[in-house]
Amino acid sequence: MRADLEALAKPRPPLTDGVEIDPVVAEVIRGGMETICFEMAVYVSRTATTPLLNQSNERNASILDANGRCAAVSVGIPQLMLASALPVRFAIEHFGDDMHPGDVYLANDPYHGGGHLPDYNVFAPVFADGRRVLMASIQCHHGDTGGSVPGGYNVSVNNIWGEGLRVPAMKVVDAGVERTDVLEMMAVNNRQPGHMGDLRSQIGSAQLGAERLGQILERFGAETVEAAVDYFIDSTGRRFRDEVRGWPDGTYTAEVFGDHDPWGNPDIRINVAVTVDDGRLVVDFTGTDDRDELQAWSSYGNTRAYSIAQVACITSPKIPKNEGFFESIEVIVPEGCVLNPPYGKPVSAGTHHPGTEVGEAIALALQAVAPERAVPQVYKTGIPTIMTGEDPRTGLPFTDHSAETHAGWCTAAAGMDAWGAQNASFGNLWKATTEINESLYPHLQLDRDYRIDSGGPGQWRGLCGAHYIKRTLVPCEIYTYVVGMKYPMPGVAGGGDGAPNKLTLRYGSDDPFVVQHTADRVPMEAGQSFNFDYGGGGGWGDALDRDPTAVLDDVLDEYVSVEGAERDYGVVLTGSLEDLTLEIDEDATAALREERRNGQGEQG
């Protein structure tokens, strides 16, 4: 059985025939729903058993109406949030009237609307006056899928069946009674000892959301709540279209590339044409790579999610994120290209790449209409650096996704240098601290400093990437896939690119292994380390327009070297960094910049 994904994504009808409602009441209900989403997400963080969920917050909650329209979301990971609707819509169509109060469902299959198999969507219907009115949904990334390799990412298999257990839609709680047969099946198809704790955390979150929504329905009545959902979805759509009407109509294009697929096939092309037409957007990926031999495939649901997420980063943050926003954007993805794969293609790694290149392409295309906001809110990672082995403290196998804090890939925006350690594509994803993960896994983290000169130069500087070293305390194997070496994070509005990624396994040994595209269970002995030099973010604007004082501050903060200040920014410094006597040679700086602007000098 195969779902029609494009049909699932089409706009859904409203719940009422234009029933009037007090706008204040509607906004109170919307605020209540958003609070419930937040409570559902926090519930998972406080009750899940594995660090991916109780530390890193790889979860997102949403509320949908009876027709599968997104009514409210939590602050979370945009890709998870936006990929959650289609699996719920499939379940609504599949089960129809066979949904009942107290039921809870689970889905993860990309060919039925999901992103990739590690993303489990758990949802519960909410009833009032004898009919289904709302759906409470919580989506989480799990650390294993039961496929042929640990960790949920199988970049070597040539079909989705080798990636793990597929669940189009399945009832896990029947009218309030846990289906132990189903949950036992889920348990034996997963390597992680904490998997069932995470899954039960999601179930509890969905049940909590259903309970809270039931209270709203009891207080306001089903008809009022339905009218409120229609009102704020319609209001959001109007606000979105009003903003986009401020952009000049036209079609704006971009072409970006991913380095390679996990098998080394080079230059994965993503082509986009964004049409602005009287407040509506059409995002068309016609012309995107469709080579059948490729091993890089983003599911339709994942592609749609990244498309909407990037547009959301370019428009006003004051516009609520619900179906009114989403249905104002038409996404065209030809079947058979790497962003809407032929049925059965593997997609676990594709949720990252070419998935994130979707956002990169849209941002670069829209530089012409909103350069101050059209910043790629993505990352260049490949997949997590997965370490597997046996923990001598427990005698059990471990799977360490290396989900520790590190810096990389954040691009500057107009008026602001890139900062911190993450970007908007990750949303509120928290990377675990050294102390937490060293207590959970047999490793030591030795270095995590910024790489000098790795942030893309610009009027506003890109974030520096991290120089990250991690030592294993036990024999282990490394399984990963790396991109961002040939095509690093791009600069925006004339800014420079960030530095590329580089991952070296067995770092500092006589037998180092520099990852060219994939590390397929590369062994490391106890005491050996790997070094990941994470790429920097792109700069925004001409680096020659950067305030020389800001460049001097960057040198003092060791973001930029003395040589980089002159090479990349045209800022000449005198004195000594070691003695903290650096000063700007204003005359030499002005002359060098003028020479560069006139095309007479070289700029790095």
Q: Model confidence over 356-383: pLDDT tens digits? A: 999 999 999 999 999 998 888 888 888 8
Q: Which of 83, 120, 96 is nearest to 206 (CA)?
A: 120
The top-scoring range by mean pLDDT among 153-157, 377-381, 483-487 is 483-487
* Chain-centre distance for alpha carbon 359: 10
Stated as kind and residue range, the H or E segment containing 209 is helix 195-220
Residue 76, phi then psi, degrees to nearest 5: -165, -150
> Mean of the pLDDT values across residues 406-417?
91
Is the distance from CB of 279 to CB of 261 less than 8 angstroms? no
C-alpha 387/C-alpha 479 separation (Å) is 7
pLDDT of residue 295: 92
Q: Please, how many CA atoms are within 13 Å of residue 272, restricted to the half-sphere of its CB?
A: 31
Q: Model confidence over 580-591: pLDDT tens digits? A: 999 999 999 999
pLDDT of residue 584: 98
pLDDT of residue 427: 64
- Which amino acid is present at 464? C
pLDDT of residue 208: 98
Angle subtended by helix axes 355-365 and 300-314, to nearest 10: 40
Say if strands 280-284 and 329-332 run parallel, antiparallel, or are unpaired: parallel
Sheet holding 59-65, edge to edge: 70-73, 59-65, 131-141, 119-128, 104-107, 170-174, 177-178
**Sorting pLDDT into bands at 50, 70 and 90, what band is 162?**
very high
Answer yes or no: is pLDDT of 513 > 70: yes
pLDDT of residue 604: 59
Answer yes or no: is pLDDT of 332 > 60: yes
pLDDT of residue 231: 97
pLDDT of residue 603: 62
Answer yes or no: is pLDDT of 344 > 70: yes
